[in-house]
């Protein structure tokens, strides 16, 4: 014989005061959802009091809620939480869009692992329980797998974001000198497998690019800095061949017919490029770049298929360097 439940008078009176239809149920479930979302990690007892229903009903509400958003009881917190903290903030994302994020993550993993972690946590926020791509399809192959000093990188990133000045001890490769400088970090640049910080240097009273791996010591200052009105790093860097700054120079180079097709594979090798396809099959390119060092390295990769027309100084330098190289080979 099953025992008959005996609903107490008190409970019956309460029911009469407050009807228990679907509407009331929905309101209670939303109340619970709201409390969990606010990280109040409520207990069943508390919820029963708040909703003015029995604990058994709360378990039933939680069961329903669990169909929509996974909810778990956390013994440490002593109450209920979302299984995934960002569960409700989920945005519908296409597989292709996720694949793009994975590609970007591939780039970051190989250049700035600490940023990769941030991207992944962002992805978790965007798409906590949604579909995941089967795997990565686009791959980024840098020429160097970077070993980055994450601590230094993070200090500089934060300083650049917050516009806080930095005091650095820098070991220059060119001069082989160690100097201490106050800098205003404008931004970070990833180039050729290495990270650089572009900054205003108070020692030189001018902007400079510092390789992060050459920074020996770094300390964040309590002073803020301002970036000149209208300054953007992207615009500034456009003038360089890669990243280094110097006086603008016009460089005119003629490439032989042998490599004309290779040259034509890129519509432009630098944003300042002017291209002339000559009747004899050769191609003349004219660039305006800041400094000739970086473009010189690029030109060496085209040996022996080019001829420098301007400037004469670059032509002379390369002649000297190639002469030395020949001597070494012999």
Partner DNA sequence: AATGCTTTGACTACAGTGAT
Partner DNA sequence: ATCACTGTAGTCAAAGCATT
Residues near DNA, by CB under 7 A: 2-8, 10-12, 14-16, 19-25, 28, 43-45, 52-57, 59-63, 73, 78
Beta carbon nearer to DNA, 19 or 267: 19
Q: Determine the distance from the C-alpha atom of residue 327 to the mean position of all C-alpha atoms in its chain, rounded to a whole number.
A: 46
Q: Residue 320: phi, psi to the nearest 5?
A: -60, -50
- The minimum distance between CB 76 and DNA, in angstroms, equals 10
Least separation in angstroms between CB 17 and DNA: 10
Q: Name the pairing type of β-strands 215-224 and 164-171.
A: antiparallel
CB nearer to DNA: pick between 41 and 181 = 41
Give me the residue label for tokens 């201490």: 180
Q: 157: how many CB neighbours lie within 10 A of its CB?
A: 19
Least distance (Å) from DNA to the CB of residue 85?
18
In angstroms, what is the minimal distance from the CB of 61 to DNA? 7
Which CB atom, from 20 or from 323, has the smaller least distance to DNA? 20
Residue 148 corresponds to which tokens in the numbers above? Answer: 């980055």
Contact 86, 48 (CB under 8 A): no
Q: Cβ 10 to DNA, closest distance in Å? A: 7
- In this structure, what token pair is assigned to residue 308? 């420098």
| Cβ-based nearer residue to DNA, 51 or 243 | 51
| Residues contacting 240, CB < 8 A, separation 6+ | 289, 290, 291, 294
* CB-count exposure of residue 249 (10 Å: 0-12, 13-18, 19+): middle
Strands (E), the chain: 71-74, 79-82, 164-171, 178-191, 194-201, 206-211, 215-224, 248-255, 274-277, 283-290, 306-310
- Report the alpha-carbon distance of residue 177 to residue 203 in Å, rounded: 14
Q: Could you tell me the smallest distance in angstroms from the CB atom of residue 159 to DNA? A: 44
Q: Which is nearer to DNA, 21 or 230 (CB)?
A: 21
- Give min distance, CB of 199 to DNA, in A: 53
Apex CA 327: angle with CA 325 and CA 330, to 5°? 110
Closer residue to DNA (CB): 57 or 286: 57
- If the CB atoms of residues 6 and 205 are measured against DNA, the closer one turns out to be 6
Q: How many CB atoms lie within 10 A of CB 237?
A: 20
Give the span between the Cα atoms of 98 and 128, in whole angstroms. 12
- Indicate the residue among 13 and 136 with the shorter CB distance to DNA: 13
d(CA 260, CA 1): 97
CB of 47 to DNA, least distance (A): 10
Rank residues 44 and 189 by Cβ distance to DNA and give the closer one.
44
The least CB distance from residue 52 to DNA, in Å, is 7
């Amino acid at each position: 014989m099953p025992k008959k439940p005996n609903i107490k008078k008190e409970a019956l009176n309460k029911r009469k005061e407050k009807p228990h239809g679907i509407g009331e149920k929905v309101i209670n479930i939303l109340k619970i959802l709201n409390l969990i979302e606010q990280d109040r990690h409520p207990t069943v007892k508390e919820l029963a009091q708040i909703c003015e229903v029995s604990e058994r009903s709360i378990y039933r509400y939680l069961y329903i809620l669990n169909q929509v958003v996974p909810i778990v009881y956390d013994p440490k917190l002593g109450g209920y939480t979302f299984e995934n903290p960002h569960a409700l903030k989920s945005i519908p994302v296409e597989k292709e869009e996720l694949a793009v994020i994975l590609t970007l993550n591939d780039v970051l993993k190989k250049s700035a692992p600490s940023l990769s972690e941030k991207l992944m946590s962002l992805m978790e926020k965007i798409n906590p329980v949604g579909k995941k791509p089967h795997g990565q399809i686009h791959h980024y192959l840098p020429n160097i797998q970077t070993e980055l000093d994450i601590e230094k990188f993070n200090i500089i990133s934060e300083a650049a974001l917050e516009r806080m000045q930095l005091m650095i001890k820098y070991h220059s490769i060119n001069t082989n000198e160690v100097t201490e400088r106050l800098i205003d970090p404008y931004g970070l640049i990833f180039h050729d497998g290495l990270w650089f910080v572009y900054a205003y240097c108070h020692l030189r009273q001018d902007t400079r690019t510092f390789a992060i791996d050459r920074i020996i010591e770094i300390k964040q200052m309590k002073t803020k800095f301002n970036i000149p009105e209208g300054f953007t790093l992207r615009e500034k860097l456009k003038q360089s061949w890669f990243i280094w700054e110097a006086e603008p120079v016009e460089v005119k180079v003629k490439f032989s017919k042998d490599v004309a097709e290779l040259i034509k594979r890129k519509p432009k090798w630098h944003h300042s490029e002017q291209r002339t396809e000559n009747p004899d099959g050769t191609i003349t390119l004219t660039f305006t770049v800041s400094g000739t060092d970086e473009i010189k390295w690029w030109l060496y990769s085209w040996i022996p298929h080019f001829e420098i027309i301007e400037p004469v100084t670059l032509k002379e330098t390369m002649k000297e360097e190639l002469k030395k190289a020949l001597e070494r080979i012999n």
